[in-house]
């Protein structure tokens, strides 16, 4: 698929209009040592490995973005700038840091530190983590989402593919993109949108914008994925089998292996998922902060 560039505003113009809210690090990229071939095709653009001139290894995420000139485009730009600015100010051990924005290969790119580990999706299928280790990863992930929501940031695409594990074994959230797309009408390309359906809240499928509530729903599905090592609705073939189940309110089956009946910890977590995270109404769902508190209580009792 050929690259998709902005129709009216170039990457350089977008950076100029964002102004000083987010640092332009184009001149700091060591282009001679940035890899020519992508490392990954992420949720909203290709990811390249490169370096800053000071030797810092970085991830270069090219965004496929459309912003037209005119009043509507200006409004979109303002919203985009505000959200990226908010991310650049995040300071949490479980959230990937945004160094700045840049122009790379005539595209707008987000620059963040390169995290040496693999994504959690792949590791779940190769690592023999104990239940306790998986629960701790879940708790750290919830902690990151609670922090984002406290800062009034919606992630919008929570799943294990968007959680990287550092070489030190610390999970870090990446890919702050869906909320930007849906809230500000920016169009990023995604080759994996079909797979995302397994984690998405029913109101999103109905066309609603991502919210804290929809994040919590997806967070619950991500917790399920971490604990079981399988994607939600793993037994169903294709998105057209999954979507009707989500819309009719059919929840994933409880795995006896990972959530044995009669086990206090398993019963407690399953009750949180089914009775708090996956409630139909987004405003009726538990907050990420409340979920974190309840999970930490259970962690201390283990």
Residue 108 pLDDT level (bands cut at 50, 70, 90): confident
Interior/surface letters 226-237, b for 16+ CB within 10 angstroms, e for the rest: bbbbebbbbebe
How, if at all, do strands 100-104 and 163-165 pair? unpaired
For residue 72, the model assigns a pLDDT of 66
Please give the average per-residue pLDDT across 143-161, as a whole number.
Answer: 93
Query: Over the stretch 240-255, which tens digit does the pLDDT of each residue have?
Result: 899 999 999 999 999 9
Q: What angle do CA 172, 175, 181 make, to 5 degrees?
A: 150
Please give the average per-residue pLDDT across 262-270, as a whole number.
Answer: 93
For residue 228, the model assigns a pLDDT of 96
Query: Over the stretch 181-199, which tens digit does the pLDDT of each residue have?
Result: 444 433 333 333 434 799 9
- Choice between 241 and 63, residue whose per-residue pLDDT is larger: 241
Going through 26-99 in order, the beta strands assigned E by DSSP cover 40-42, 45-51, 57-63
Looking at 230-285, list the stretches that DSSP marks H as alpha helix, in order from N- to C-terminal side: 239-247, 264-272
- Choice between 75 and 154, residue whose per-residue pLDDT is larger: 154
pLDDT at residue 296 greater than cutoff 50: yes
Q: Considering only 64-78, 90-104, 207-221, which range has the smallest mean pLDDT?
A: 64-78
Average pLDDT for the chain? 85
For residue 196, the model assigns a pLDDT of 76
pTM given for the model: 0.86
pLDDT at residue 145 greater than cutoff 80: yes
Structure tokens at 111: 């620059």
Assess contact for 108 and 101: CB atoms under 8 A: yes
Please give the average per-residue pLDDT across 20-24, as a whole number.
Answer: 86
For residue 61, the model assigns a pLDDT of 87
- For residue 63, give the 3-state DSSP assignment: strand
Q: Quick count: other Cβ atoms within 10 Å of Cβ 263?
A: 13
Query: Over the stretch 31-45, which tens digit does the pLDDT of each residue have?
Result: 999 998 988 775 567
Tell me how far apart the alpha carbons of residues 81 and 19 are, in angstroms, rounded to a whole number.
9
Tell me how far apart the alpha carbons of residues 49 and 263 are, in angstroms, rounded to a whole number.
45
Residues noted as catalytic: 157
Please give the average per-residue pLDDT across 83-90, as a whole number.
Answer: 86
Structure tokens at 40: 């990954």
Radius of gyration of the chain (CA): 19
Q: How many residues does the chain have?
A: 302
For residue 177, the model assigns a pLDDT of 52
Q: Which domains does the chain have, with CATH numbers?
A: 11-113 (3.30.200.20), 120-300 (1.10.510.10)
Structure tokens at 244: 């009707």
Structure tokens at 268: 């407690």
For residue 18, the model assigns a pLDDT of 78
Residue 2 pLDDT level (bands cut at 50, 70, 90): very low
């Amino acid at each position: 698929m050929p690259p998709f560039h902005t129709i009216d505003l170039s990457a350089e113009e977008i950076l100029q209009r964002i102004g000083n809210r987010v640092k332009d690090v184009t001149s700091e990229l060591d282009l001679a040592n940035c890899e020519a071939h992508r490392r990954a095709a992420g949720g909203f653009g290709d990811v390249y490995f490169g370096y800053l001139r000071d030797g810092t290894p970085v991830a270069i995420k090219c965004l496929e973005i459309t912003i037209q000139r005119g009043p509507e485009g200006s409004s979109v730009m303002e919203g985009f700038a505000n959200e990226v600015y908010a991310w650049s100010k995040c300071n949490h051990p479980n959230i990937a840091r945004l160094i700045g924005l840049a122009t790379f290969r005539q595209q707008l790119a987000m620059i963040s530190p390169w995290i040496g580990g693999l994504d959690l999706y792949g590791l779940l299928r190769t690592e023999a983590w104990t239940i306790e280790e998986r629960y701790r990863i879940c708790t750290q992930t919830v902690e990151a989402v609670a922090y984002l929501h406290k800062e009034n940031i919606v992630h919008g695409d929570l799943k294990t593919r968007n959680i990287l594990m550092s070489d030190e074994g610390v999970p870090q959230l990446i890919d702050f993109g869906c909320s930007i797309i849906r809230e500000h009408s920016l169009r990023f390309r995604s080759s994996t949108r079909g797979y995302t359906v397994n984690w998405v809240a029913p109101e999103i499928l109905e066309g609603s914008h991502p919210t804290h509530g929809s994040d919590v729903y997806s967070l619950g599905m991500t917790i399920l994925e971490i604990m079981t090592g399988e994607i939600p609705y793993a037994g169903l073939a294709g998105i057209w089998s999954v979507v009707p189940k989500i819309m009719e309110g059919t929840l994933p089956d409880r795995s006896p292996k990972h959530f044995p009946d009669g086990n206090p910890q398993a019963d407690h977590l399953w009750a949180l998922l089914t009775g708090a995270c996956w409630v139909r109404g987004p405003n009726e769902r538990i907050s990420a902060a409340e979920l974190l508190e309840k999970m930490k209580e259970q962690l201390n009792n283990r």
